[in-house]
Amino acid sequence: MKKHIAVFVSGSGSNFQSIIDGVNNKEINAEIMLCVASKAGTLGEQRAIDNGIATTVMDKSLGLENEFGRVAEMLTRLNVDYIILAGFLTILPFSFVRKFKNKIINIHPSLIPKFSGDGFYGMRVHEAVITAGETESGCTVHFVDEGIDTGDIIDKAIVAVLPSDTPETLQQRVLKEEHRLLPKVVKMLCD
């Protein structure tokens, strides 16, 4: 039986694309029931539209609790087994996290617990890794709990930091690994 999954996006959705590809080539035994976009007009939302995936755009003017309540109802109606945060930048309300305990996963572009938590997102992560003189970075997929990047770790991938790296070149190599790691974990969960 195919699992029902939902993917939450905020930006370009390249990680979302890696899941779409995994589902389309039957690597991942799931159906993408819904894409939740934190704002309108992102490439992530466009990828859902292009692939005929039902999409809802969040309206934060209604209040986060209300809006996540609306999304939670949709997810429940669609019998969603797993929620994948693929570059979703809005912090989830506790009520939402508790409702879907052990069903929400996130990908973070560092080796958690390093360079994770409040304020570590996007390019800031890679800038901090280089400033700290790290020789290794990578990405981590973890369950989402009430903290920021604190839930149980499912899998990690390591990427070497090269002496010539800028935050941008490091981000590109980490992102490439994310596109391998995230569908691998989603496949594992759905199997």
- Show which residues are catalytic: 108
Distance separating alpha carbons of residues 58 and 179, to the nearest angstrom: 25
Contacts (CB under 6 A) with ligand GRF, residues 37-66: 44
Q: Name the residue nearer to ligand GRF (CB basis): 79 or 131.
A: 131
Torsions phi, psi for 137 (to 5 deg): -140, -155
Buried residues in 105-144 as b, exposed as e (16+ CB within 10 A): bbbbbbbbebbbeeebbeeebbbbbeeeebeebbbbbbbb
Contact call for residue 93 and ligand GRF (CB under 6 A): no
> According to CB under 6 A, which one of 11, 22, 93, 183 is a site residue for ligand GRF?
11
> According to CB under 6 A, which one of 12, 46, 150, 169 is a site residue for ligand GRF?
12
Q: Name the residue nearer to ligand GRF (CB basis): 97 or 107.
A: 107
E strand residue ranges, the chain: 3-9, 30-37, 55-57, 82-85, 104-108, 136-143, 153-160
> According to CB under 6 A, which one of 47, 103, 108, 142 is a site residue for ligand GRF?
108
Contact call for residue 13 and ligand GRF (CB under 6 A): yes
Can you give the binding site for ligand GRF, defined by CB under 6 A? Answer: 11-16, 44, 86-87, 107-109, 175, 178
